[in-house]
Amino acid sequence: MTAPTEHRSSAAAEDPRIRRSWLVFAGTFFALGLISVLRLFGPGARPLDAAITGLIVVVGFAAVRNRLAVQELEASRRAEAESFARILQGLSRSISPDAIVGAIVEELGAGTGADHVVIVRRRPDARVLEATLVNARTGGSTSSTLFPISDLEDPPDDLAPEREPVAVPIEVGTGDGAAVSAVAAGEGRPIAVLPLPGPMRLSTVAAPAVEPEPIVAHRSGRRSPDVAPAPALATSGEARSAAAEMAVAERIARRARSVFGLRHTLVAPLTTDDGQIGALLISRRTAGDWPASAHRILVGGAVEASAALSRAYSHRQAEARASTDGLTGLPNRRYFDEFCALLARRRRAEDSVGVLMIDIDRFKRLNDAHGHQVGDEVLRAVAGAIAGAVREDDVPARYGGEEFAVLLRNPTLAVAVDVGERVREAVGRLDLSRYDVPAVSVSVGAAVAADADDPIDGVIDQADRAMYLAKRRGRDQVVAA
């Protein structure tokens, strides 16, 4: 948007009372200026008239500049508010972590003037950090890589236990990623103390060309005369927590700068009720201080992205709990049935499907003799043996009671029987002596779809019948349908 357009939009959005006041001011000023000019060029003009006319011109010029500056400030604040609104609108519709990343990146780049946006977040399904770099200028060019989880989980080395920061430090970096926090490192590097309301956190800024004189926030809370008193965090514990979060965020930012070759960065931590989950980073090619609006948009975006990611992770965990058997940790029957239905819809002509149905032999007798608590431990042990014996692409599940099922991907009947034998042998090797339980065994039925059009439900029925046949033949064996 060009500057004239901004001014027109600002004028259009101005309060009518302000517009009327300016009209009165302009009219009065014009009349005053006209009188001064008439006195200056009229008979009996004095040197004082020239001085008054000059002052009126200066005041008029300053008033016009002030009005333009106010309009620009109002336009900037409206743009900032609109950026927040669009970020919130995008995040409110996002239910997956990837959708959240996509929702925040474009608007964050436009609102802050950044060239690149990096979101580094802990993956809920693995102990790694996933770093996604997005080119904010092109709006679509992305690059992803993995960072070690130690960048997030290791305590900051530069926060000594005895230190008690009493202010929020804003790092003054060198622009090339080599700087560290002044308060954290204790090396007398310059810091600034800013009032950050509510959940706002810490941000790093690129250093100016000439490094300012050091400003030191003392542990006692006294300050040098050049530092405004910060609304220090409520307790020293909260201050230490905020400083630790920022130290971790800067550590992540240093790695991102190194990996992606970024310069002139600004970073904010991503935190949830469960702790810090990553960092949000913006970067640009040009040096110089980031504007205050970029700080506010980044920190606000980090807060909202943290909340959205927390909701997404909670939603995913709730889904996982609904699909997982609470006793054994294996997928439950609901998940198994849904997976089979999904596989049936996406199944290709050359895909084969097999099923193992597994039942613990004489489990009711074991339960009656040793109690349900020991029976639960046996179920957990058998579930672990099954999960360790099947192939990587196979899907084991607790089907119900003491019965388990395994969905086999692209097996032959010989492969299905071989996997069944591995399961039977793994269960037979379980050491349950600590529960005063002798070795347990399982009966296994194996079936494979003879044709791509065979329904998976039919394969499950065949494997179930084969499993009962194994029981009738003496148990502890694998029978193929």
Sign (positive or negative) of CA dihedral 114, 116, 122, 125: positive
Residue 331 DSSP symbol:
B
Q: Which of 181, 272, 183 is nearest to 232 (CA)?
A: 183
Catalytic residue among 402, 403, 421, 425: 402
Beta pairing partners, 408 = 354
Q: Taking CA 469 as the corner, what is the angle to CA 467 and CA 470, rounded to the nearest 5 degrees?
A: 65
Which helix H or strand E contains 129, and what residues bound it?
Answer: strand 128-135
Q: Which of 354, 365, 409, 363 is nearest to 382 (CA)?
A: 363
Distance CA 472, CA 417 (A): 18
Cβ pair 61, 85 in contact under 8 A:
no
Residue 311 DSSP symbol:
H
Q: Is residue 130 flagged as an active site residue? A: no
Distance CA 136, CA 105 (A): 7
List Cα–Cα distances, 38 to 3, 33, 44, 412, 414, in angstroms.
36, 9, 11, 106, 111
Write b or e for each residue in 172-202: b if 16 or more Cβ atoms lie within 10 A of its Cβ, otherwise e.
Answer: bbebebebbbbbbeeeebbbbbbebeeebbb
Q: Within 10 A of 292 (CB to CB), how many other CB atoms are there? A: 11
**CA-atom Rg of the chain in angstroms:** 34
Residues recorded for the chain: 481
Tokens representing 457 are 């439900």
Cβ pair 385, 420 in contact under 8 A:
no
DSSP assignment of 156-174 equals PTTS-TT----S-EEEEE-
Distance CA 104, CA 321 (A): 28
Pairing of strands 128-135, 116-122: antiparallel
Distance CA 32, CA 287 (A): 46
Sign (positive or negative) of CA dihedral 116, 120, 124, 127: positive
Beta pairing partners, 327 = none
Cβ pair 336, 397 in contact under 8 A:
yes
Distance CA 315, CA 321 (A): 10
Catalytic machinery residues = 402
